[in-house]
Chain A
Amino acid sequence: MSQSNRISGGQIDRKTSLQFTFDGRSYVGHAGDTLASALLANGVRLMGRSFKYHRPRGPLSSGSEEPNALVHLRTGARQEPNTRATVAELFDGLHATSQNAWPSLKFDAMSINDKLNSFLTAGFYYKTFMWPAAFWEKVYEPIIRRAAGLGALTKDEDPDEYDKGFIHCDLLIIGAGPAGLMAALMAGRAGARVVLADEDFRMGGRLNAETFEVGGVAGADWASAVVAELAATPNVRLMNRTTIVGAFDHGIYSAVERVSDHLSVPAAGKPRQTLWRIYSKRAILAGGATERPIAFENNDRPGVMLAGALRAYANRWGVAVGDRVAMFTNNDDGLRTARDLLAKGVDVAAVIDSRQGGDLLPGIRHLQGAQVIDSSGRLGLKSVTVRLADGKTETISCTALGVSGGWNPNVNITSHHRSRPEWRDDIAAFVPGTGGPAGLSSAGAASGAMSTHGALATGQAQALAALADLGFAAKADELPRAEDTPIVISPLWFVHEGKGRAWIDQQNDVTVKDVKLAHQENFIAVEHLKRYTTLGMATDQGKTGNVLGIAIMAELTGQSIPATGTTIYRPPYTPVAMGALAGRSRGKDFKPFRLTPSHQWAAEQGAIFVEVGNWLRTQWVPKAGETTWRQSVDREVLATRRSIGICDVTTLGKIDIQGTDAGAFLDKVYANTFSTLAVGKCRYGLMLREDGIVFDDGTTARMGTHEFVMTTTTANAVTVFRHLEYCRQVLWPDMDVQIISTTEAWAQFSVAGPNARSLLQKIVDQDISDAAFPYMGAGNITIGGLRGRLFRISFSGELAYEIAVPTRYGDAMIRKLMAAGAEFDAIVYGTEALGVMRIEKGHVAGGELNGQSTALNMGLGKMVSKKKDSIGMVLSQREGMNRDEGYRLVGVRPVDPTGSISAGSHFMEIGAPVDLASDGGWLTSKVYSPHLGCDIALGYLKAGDQKIGRKMRAVNFLTKTDTLVEIVSPHFFDPQGERLRG
């Protein structure tokens, strides 16, 4: 079987033969073919099985509206499910396989569903699987999911790259048929920046599929000449293989360009697809129209096809779908297909025309007033049964049937901003409604101008209107001559005869019966109809079925179609691969991370890193012989408390605040007072949200009378800065205060432990003795002449400093510190040891700064000054936030020192039931303290300040632990703070 159905003509390159396989069998097609046209040329009509009933199906269409011919394309990691064979461009070596069929396409075990169809009607799942509830998840759903469905995903990672891009233009033209080409020609010649996008690989739209002449030459040749002129116009960008998938606000459109889908493997450095964001000042939708079928019994057999598709396969691809074809139409366009096929020498058995009267087609058996009432052929059409005008029936043998129920303008994108399409009786179709995306107009068949002349005229007119808006001078040219056939249609939506199923939405297996059932059960509103029957909910979004379903409902209710209304379309116009949406944000690039200045040095030491916010920080640094993380962390804590530990704290937010009102400004944003802070000193600051909940904390130093340096937590570095800008610009617009983030400007290291001063004095040029640089001191220093900053602050509870140098010296600084610290056995500690030491000191951090806790909860209630106005001061005084029985920060340790407690445990009274009513609060952070030799934790306990010394249970259902604990002060270590003042 070698291209048995190939006929003459078409825009394929017969000199280039392409080998491909479908379900393991080899075929040959030509360059310019789609997978569907090549299979049809080889006599293959059966390409898939339907979603619900597993009915044998072939292509219904020749374009992106295809509901049936969905296949797996390619093999291995590149395998792609649900690819429409009608738009898959053929390439040499293409492998396609059918989906939703087992064991084979010709014998599908699940076609038993077809026999059970009387049970599987609309609402079947809702009605049948109501009870018992537990059965739904465990029994029904898995079975249904296996039986129903589309293609299967490969579980392998996609080896191709996807990209994102941005384009700015004056005018975006969507669709390169006669209307779009005419508009592009006008705008291109006028000098506007034009993007012309078309989903097809060949521009020209329907001109490629028709035999019309435009300006005295074949339509396809006119299109080629226009495309050639546009290609030579530098201000015009032609984008074929590019689908505009959505309209967004302010002239922004998204587009998917299938850069490499027509190749077996993308060229080196090229993405598979690119997701474009197109910024346009004006846009014209010239997306054409989609033909709709007429529903009749068994109208879904392979070989039954839209008449316009049959015509396209013959004219564009040189394929006769059947050796003997028939036509079923309610309008003149169906007659055109018969004429074109006859001219190509195809045997046209009959034209079944539902209309009475009018001229008979010459040379063809034209049966007026007749309807197709049934068809036969299990795996492909063999014959149709026709009810003739005189009431008799006749069986006509044919292997292809073209059905034409009229054409629907492709209004989809105009309704992306909720504009509802409007019905036009004269063409029996919905056209774009008012209130669509601002700046978008429509032309050609998409606007209801169905003839070639109408397309050229509206394309030109809309381009001129857009150009006038944009300020380009342009005037109308004489249009090339083209056909201007009027639409002559007598709507027929479904054939009323017959007891069997007549398909409306072939992809979701929705039939006329389902619409009737929805009507009978009062799901009459179009939105109910859609959801009850799943009409138009498949990957094709009902491009061929929606209007049919709505019209049938209108007929059943006796309402007009405009009174029945229509559902609207949402983006995307056609399915978009997840890879295109992800672009390059995959794997490591999904969320970039930042490296600290000492990262390189830490990596050399074999440090273990952890993601903290956007940063990678050292978690711990294992030494030889340490086999568990706890050994490393315990050692780092003990070494720090014994001599010196150094930690990179660059990740903390740093904000320089300057101006004559800097102190007053800090009084506004911090709950405590800063205007009284002496120059050269630091203070711990507590920042509230306006609702009185703690927002952030950190130390802020006064470097000069009008100069402060604020630190924030790592997590809130960005949001605190945003908040300060808000306070400065919006709330107090005339305060003299300037701020700048210096988080990236300074490499900052904490040097903690009893020998910290001894180490730092070796490298700092100034005197930093306790007298010269007391506890909470701050100042500018030099390190061998290099400018730096020194703060005597402590998070660990030890004598500690934070020393900062310009970031580019960060790597040198850590090396210098470690060299100078060698004589003190200085070590570097990571975030785990940092956590242990801060919990030993009772300092709050992430687990306690949880966005729900007040200063009072944290035991810091006295810090909120009521002598001045600050953010959150007033609302922190609300009664409910100041109850004595509210949560208070407490320390927790197991009564049995060898016992283990877990973060997230809830406090329960001994002897009380373990239930919500008895819940006393929860443990926020827990560590093992090598200093105390047992687990310790912080937690929020109701009235916790009155429960110090009490024994309670810490219960955790997740870790299944229930530990007897003692409530203690949160300050486990050196509660008087003697060490840090040393």
Chain B
Amino acid sequence: MIINHPILGPRDAQEFVYLGDANLMGRPDGMTAGIEAFHDYLYNRDNPAGAHRELWYHEQGDRSWLVVTRNTVTHEILKVEMARDVARAGGRSK
């Protein structure tokens, strides 16, 4: 697989480490959310046949965390974004 890094261009997937569903970005606030909310956050996932947003880490590269939108059926990569930008856009700036 080749991941088209937003800054570095196309890179071989071997340079990356896969984490999982990009919903992991939506961590609840531990001071207000309870165990149930954290349980859902950590363990409940959709398993779509099709477009899937997932977190990849460019460990053998620039150490960027990326949000990769990948079709799980064809492995086509539809979009690659810097995770930090996605996090900010998602309201994680505090």
Contact = CB atoms under 8 A, between A and B. Distances in A.
Interface in B37-72: 38-39, 42, 55, 57, 59, 63-65
A731 B65 CA distance: 11
Nearest to B43: A691
Contact of A870 (B25, B30, B92): B30
A733 interface: yes
Interface in A723-753: 725-726, 729-734
Given A722-B17, A869-B31, A732 B57 contact: no
A874 interface: yes
Contacts of B1: 248-250, 252
A438 interface: yes
Contact of A729 (B29, B33, B64, B76): B64
B27 interface: yes
Interface residues of A, number: 28
A734 B33 CA distance: 21
A825 interface: no
A873 B87 contact: no
A571 B84 CA distance: 38
Interface string A856-876: 000000000000111001110
Contacts of B19: 726
A356 interface: no
B75 A730 contact: no
A378 interface: no
Contact of A726 (B2, B57, B94): B57
A690 interface: yes
Given A250-B77, A690-B42, A691-B42, A734 B93 contact: yes
A249 B64 CA distance: 22
A442 B4 CA distance: 27
Contact of B92 (A248, A725, A733): A733
Interface in A421-461: 438
Interface string A242-256: 000000111110000
Interface in A513-544: none
A252 B35 CA distance: 44
A190 B74 CA distance: 31
> Most chain-A CB neighbours within 10 Å: which of B28, B38, B75, B92?
B38
Interface in A674-732: 690-691, 718, 722, 725-726, 729-732
B2 A250 contact: yes
A681 B1 CA distance: 47
A730 B33 contact: no
Nearest to A719: B17
A733 B93 contact: yes
Contacts of A868: 31
B70 to A, nearest CB: 10
Contacts of A718: 59
B92 A731 contact: yes
Given A722-B57, A875-B39, A730 B87 contact: yes
B34 interface: yes
Interface string A462-491: 000000000000000000000000000000
Contact of A690 (B38, B55, B83): B38
A431 B38 CA distance: 52
Contacts of A250: 1-2, 75, 77
A417 B82 CA distance: 29
Nearest to B57: A722
Given A722-B59, A726-B57, A874-B34, A734 B94 contact: yes
Contact of B74 (A438, A869, A874): A438
A718 B57 CA distance: 12
Contact of A734 (B34, B39, B88): B88
A730 B84 contact: yes
Interface in A239-281: 248-252, 279
Given A438-B74, A438-B76, A726-B19, A731 B87 contact: yes
A248 B2 CA distance: 10
Most buried by A among B75, B77, B88: B75
B88 A733 contact: yes
B87 A875 contact: no
Contact of A732 (B24, B35, B63, B94): B94
A874 B63 contact: no
Contacts of B74: 417, 438
B83 to A, nearest CB: 5
A248 B1 CA distance: 7
B30 A729 contact: no
Contact of B2 (A252, A733, A870, A875): A252
A878 interface: yes
A874 B84 CA distance: 24
Nearest to B17: A722
Nearest to B88: A733
A873 B65 contact: no
Contacts of A725: 57, 63, 65
B71 to A, nearest CB: 11
B35 A874 contact: yes
A730 B76 contact: no
B83 A729 contact: yes
Contacts of B35: 874-875, 877-878
A722 B31 CA distance: 25
B32 to A, nearest CB: 9
Contact of B42 (A438, A730, A875): A875
Nearest to A251: B2
A279 B2 contact: yes
B40 to A, nearest CB: 11
Contact of B87 (A279, A417, A722, A729): A729
Nearest to B70: A249
Contacts of A870: 30
Contacts of B93: 733-734
A253 B25 CA distance: 34
Contacts of B42: 690-691, 875
A878 B34 CA distance: 10
Contacts of A730: 24-25, 55, 65, 83-84, 87, 92
B38 A733 contact: no
Contacts of B27: 690, 731
B2 A731 contact: no
A152 B75 CA distance: 39
* A-B complex: 8 closest residue pairs judged by Cβ atoms: A869-B30, A733-B87, A250-B2, A734-B93, A249-B1, A249-B75, A733-B84, A729-B84
Interface of B: 1-2, 13, 17, 19, 24-25, 27-31, 33-35, 38-39, 42, 55, 57, 59, 63-65, 74-77, 82-84, 87-88, 92-94
Given A249-B1, A250-B75, 10 more contacts: A252-B2, A691-B42, A729-B83, A730-B55, A730-B87, A731-B87, A732-B92, A733-B88, A869-B30, A877-B35
21 contacts: A248-B1, A249-B2, A250-B75, A250-B77, A279-B2, A417-B74, A438-B74, A438-B76, A725-B63, A726-B57, A726-B65, A732-B94, A733-B93, A734-B92, A734-B94, A869-B30, A870-B30, A873-B30, A874-B34, A874-B38, A877-B35
